[in-house]
Structure 1
Amino acid sequence: MNNIESKRKIGFYIRVSTERQAKVVEGSLKNQKQMLLAEVNKRNLLNKSWGELIEVYVDEGISGKDINRPAFQKMLKDIEIEKIDTIMFTELSRLSRSLKDFLNIFEFTQKYNCDLICLKTDIDTTSPYKNLITKILMVFGEFEREMTSQRTSINAYERSKRGLANGGAAPLGYYRDKKKKGYLLIDKKESGIVLEIFKTYIKEKSIQRTTEAIKSKYADSNSGLKKINKSRIYSILTNKSYIGVREIYKKDKSKYEEVKAVWNGIIDEKLFRRAENLLKANKERLHWRNSGRFNYLLSGLMMCGKCGEKLQGKCAYSRINKKHYYYSHKNTCKDSGISGIDAEVTHKLVFDWLDEISNNGDRFNQLKTEGKIRIRKKIDFLNTAIEKLKAEKKALVKEIEARLNELTNTKSEIVKNTIEESIIKLNQSKKDIEDKNIYIRHEIDRLEKLIQGDNNLFGEYSDRIKSIFRPPNNGTKDKLREVISYIKLDDKNVNIALSAVNLKEPVSELFVSTPRAGLEPATR
């Protein structure tokens, strides 16, 4: 993909999944780096000046199930700003355990003319042939994973049909039979607790009171009830394992089956059915399991204008027993910001404002003009920062030269060691400044592009905003995140920042509007 005559700017990506692996000095992290360095040296011997290692990206003790990894994200940013143009890694699983994520990574690197090289598979995009092999391997890899998953599901189902228990922790009151896989044996001590839970519920007729009674008796004991709450009590009362029944596809009503389990029950079936009927009769009282909760559409977007903390959706009852929903700090604001704001009123204000700007081109263009002025000011600030970095780098270069002269003229080994250490630190500071300079210049380019070529910006935003109001409404929260970068709350106003229209690019602040709020803090 890259010009073969140019020297490659290489980045190593290294990852281990557990903290234990990360702490092993001569372990996987070091092994991965050593293997990658050996490969680079080999290629440089075959093709002089093939590539140069620029950066090593290390995620220690982090799973590869998604791409939310600090070093990985930094690597993507460096690809985008052309700091590196080749990524090397030892195994595909180090980079990603998801084919979907890998396809996205593959497309991203193709977009920015960056190659991928994996040592333990034939993934290598440095030539057209190897690039084709990479794509074919990806398809077969996904097919193999799907077949493995299907075989695992079939095996688990067949075991369940025979009444055997699958993996995971044994229910309270049982322990696994080490001699017979899939069999459960009754724990005499814990089975007594299970029986007491059923009898207490029959007596109290309340999940809450049953939980309190069991917690007061067993919270500090060495029993299997380490975590006692209403959900745990409910799951015990509804678990048919206790009457010797193996449930299959419990969470899927269309596939649900019951078969006789290979283990003995703990609870008499009449007692279990009494508890089951009581649960049905008390369904309306189990409000803690009610799915009809208030939808905090702006959660994750609302933040305090003073301390910057994300505001959480909360609810409370007033003195007249009316339920109120609001956004508030987790704790008291350290900078004395507003304590909270009514959620329903805020939702109406934000939706009304979005509706206004999506239907009013003049109002929208006014906001766009104001936003461009703010972006220009930010660009000026960044240009000033670059000038400061230049001055700092110039001073560092001068200091490094002076230290090198000292090193040449000194004869003392102790002094030489001290000077060499200081030169290493100065060179690291110089590299940090160069990295900062790259990122700032990239940010300036991004902001410049943001305010250019946006003649149809109103049309694009108008369509995207109007999609929020179209049915079905179950994706409203995600749609809001597509058009709103953040919402800041200060003493008098709700300040809304719209994000970039083109979602393929990094989400960035385009302009900010301050709708007239007139909102009072939520009372608790």
Structure 2
Amino acid sequence: MEKAALYIRVSTHHQIDKDSLPFQKKELINYSKYVLGVDEYEIFEDAGYSGKNTDRPKFQEMMSRIRAGEFTHVLVWKIDRVSRNLRDFTEMYDEIKKYNVTFISKNEQFDTSTAMGEAMLKIILVFAELERKLTAERVYSIMLSRAEKGLWNGAPVPLGYDFDEELKFAVVNEEEAKIVKFIFDTYEEVKSTGEVKHRLEANGIRTKRNGHWTTKTISDVIRNPFYVGTYRYNYRYSPHGKIRPEEEWVVVEDNHPAIVSKEQYEKLNKIMDSNAHGRGTDRTKENHIHVFKGLISCSKCNKNYIASTDRPRSDGYRPSVYRCYNYVHNKKQYRTCSGGIGEVKLGPFVINYIANLIKSNEFISTYGSKGTEKEVEKILLKGSSFKGVAGIIAQDLKHTYEVLLKNTGDILFDSIEEPKDIEQDMELESLKSEKKKIERALQRLEDLYLFSEDSMSEKNYLVKKQELEKRINSINDKIKKRSQEYSRNLPGHDLSFIKKATQYLLAHNLYNDRAINYNKIVKMIDKKLLQDFMQCVVKKITVDEDKTISSIEFVNGLSHRFIYRK
């Protein structure tokens, strides 16, 4: 059966006339029905998205469903509705051809089933991409021209200023200007961005967007010539990218009201240059990989832990150490947290707990409900790494036990077994009941054909049998789809991460009955692979101030909180 995907895009919500969404929609529907003779269609709309690439929600959904074999035609108003980028379009077109999907552009009127049609399509797209690049160049020229006149070109307004809609430029915000002066005056006094940061935090002063200060944000304020009334444009290739050559900058002196004097600005920047030179900023940093980077959180303040290298051991190996953000970025008198944990303790705990979770799954796969929650908890906490742990919070243990039971047998494969309490879904129950009725009817049909004296003809039997089997297949598809929808709503249902963990541990000969010696294997295995593995399995590790691991949350939502002996 033929079915068309009608793709519609406009760059803004306000485009009118021939490129508007309603017009495109009407034209494509009529073309599908009356020219192609395809009455089955589905519309995919992306309003307000640029054509420079294909990173658009409805376009990606359409492509996903094409891969699933849902459509025979893709119909667009113009080919640049798909993309103005030749490579993106070519990749898309080559892919849909694999699925025997016909591509049609209503406006250009060409047939891609012929070699000439394909060639014309690509020629048109080359000119569409050229038009986009020429437009970008024109816009860039206009922006430079505006900057040379001291006009605002759009950007986040810096601390100390607000955007004035009438003037169409930044004007001084007197309250924020006091913070800017405080930063400049304090740095002139202490000559340290770190000390300025501590004083700002101690006084409860936040950034313009209510964030925490860092030494870089303070440095950016002091380095910004906007505060002396100088408008600088085209300084970097991107907002946080590489600095352009100075001859490409647009600099307009005395363009707007200043907050600090040029004399103070120049003096402080010279101090910064001197400090940077003294620190030897051209030194190359050691490329140290921190296995648990970005995964650890403080149980007291909920901030992330910052990774650094610990002291070298006798064999020269330097493990990672992780400390709370508040500890790292504040001086002693300003600290509210003292949390920290070393890789030497953290690594064995986490990797052995993951291995024990795999063993728990295998245990339940073997014994099913005969295995108890207590036995699962015992397996999870087996090993010297957990000698201080008295148990797992009952709610977390019960949840994990139930999830393991529901998924028994399919954990190490791509599919996940339908949960046993899925019958609570009334729609699914109805589908199963209907399937049983048809299966009984099929059985009676076979009995009638094989054993009845008034047997039907072979032709009638095969026709009816095919009809019933088709209905059963259709219901099976609906049951599968409904099961997946229902199963997705169960927290922690997806244990496919256990498969990844198993594969990794087996691949590195780490999975056996003995405990894993993390501190030994971390010196032998590529740490980047180990880091990637942890990112695939663990979502968050929470650490208490006494350097104990209070909880581990896995990527599927399962969370295990630990109870420690006093």
| TM-score, scaled relative to structure 1 | 0.52
Residue matched to 1:227: 211
8 Å contact 2:312–2:319 — kept in the other structure? no
Instruction: Give how far 1:116 is off.
Output: 2.2
Instruction: Give how far 1:150 is off.
Output: 0.8
Q: Distance in 1 between matches of 2:187 and 2:174?
A: 21
| 1:44-77, Cα deviation, whole Å (9 max, x unpaired) | 5xxxxx3353666677998876556676555435
* Aligned counterpart in structure 2 of residue 11 of structure 1, from 5, 16, 31: 5
Question: Within 5 Å, which residues of 2 pair with 1:202-241?
Answer: 202-217=188-203, 219=205, 224-230=208-214, 231-241=216-226
Q: Distance in 1 between matches of 2:310 and 2:292?
A: 22
Instruction: Give how far 1:15 is off.
Output: 7.0
Q: Distance in 2 between matches of 1:122 and 1:32?
A: 15
Change in Cα spacing, 1:487 to 1:297, as seen in structure 2 (3 Å) is farther
Paired letter, 2:172: I
Q: Distance in 2 between matches of 1:60 and 1:432?
A: 32
Q: Distance in 2 between matches of 1:102 and 1:299?
A: 40
Residue 101 in structure 1 maps to residue 85 in structure 2: no
The more displaced of 58-67 and 248-257 is 58-67
Paired letter, 1:283: A
Residue 250 in structure 1 maps to residue 267 in structure 2: no
Q: Flag structure 1 segments of 5+ consecutive residues without an equivalent.
A: 1-6, 22-27, 45-49, 304-311, 340-376, 386-391, 403-424, 437-485, 497-512
Residue 275 in structure 1 maps to residue 260 in structure 2: no
Change in Cα spacing, 1:242 to 1:123, as seen in structure 2 (3 Å) is farther
Q: Distance in 1 between matches of 2:475 and 2:146?
A: 61
Change in Cα spacing, 1:401 to 1:127, as seen in structure 2 (3 Å) is farther
What is the root-mean-square deviation in Å for CA atoms of aligned residues?
5.7
8 Å contact 2:8–2:44 — kept in the other structure? yes
The more displaced of 247-256 and 513-522 is 513-522
* Aligned counterpart in structure 2 of residue 158 of structure 1, from 121, 124, 145: 145
8 Å contact 1:116–1:123 — kept in the other structure? no
Change in Cα spacing, 1:275 to 1:294, as seen in structure 2 (3 Å) is same
Instruction: Give how far 1:240 is off.
Output: 0.9
Question: Which of these two proteins has the greater Rg computed from alpha carbons?
Answer: 2
Q: Distance in 1 between matches of 2:77 and 2:152?
A: 38
8 Å contact 2:290–2:320 — kept in the other structure? no
Residue matched to 1:520: 518
Residue 315 in structure 1 maps to residue 300 in structure 2: no
Paired letter, 1:249: N
Instruction: Give how far 1:243 is off.
Output: 1.8
Instruction: Give how far 1:39 is off.
Output: 3.1
Change in Cα spacing, 1:224 to 1:323, as seen in structure 2 (3 Å) is same
The more displaced of 284-293 and 110-119 is 284-293
Residue matched to 2:319: 324
Instruction: Give how far 1:125 is off.
Output: 3.2
8 Å contact 2:84–2:125 — kept in the other structure? no
Change in Cα spacing, 1:430 to 1:515, as seen in structure 2 (3 Å) is closer
| 1:304-330, Cα deviation, whole Å (9 max, x unpaired) | xxxxxxxx9973454789963499999
Instruction: Give how far 1:205 is off.
Output: 2.1
| 1:398-424, Cα deviation, whole Å (9 max, x unpaired) | 55999xxxxxxxxxxxxxxxxxxxxxx
Instruction: Give how far 1:244 is off.
Output: 2.4
Paired letter, 2:211: K
* Aligned counterpart in structure 2 of residue 195 of structure 1, from 157, 166, 181: 181
Change in Cα spacing, 1:38 to 1:335, as seen in structure 2 (3 Å) is farther
Paired letter, 1:315: A
8 Å contact 1:314–1:325 — kept in the other structure? no
- Please give the secondary structure, in 2, of the residue aligned with 1:282: helix
Change in Cα spacing, 1:188 to 1:279, as seen in structure 2 (3 Å) is same
Q: Distance in 2 between matches of 1:243 and 1:275?
A: 13
Aligned pair count reads: 362
Q: Distance in 2 between matches of 1:29 and 1:156?
A: 30
8 Å contact 1:191–1:266 — kept in the other structure? yes
Q: Distance in 1 between matches of 2:149 and 2:352?
A: 62
| TM-score, scaled relative to structure 2 | 0.49
Q: Flag structure 2 segments of 5+ consecutive residues without an equivalent.
A: 15-19, 237-242, 296-303, 323-342, 357-409, 419-430, 442-470, 483-497, 524-546, 548-566
Instruction: Give how far 1:201 is off.
Output: 1.6
Q: Distance in 2 between matches of 1:62 and 1:85?
A: 25
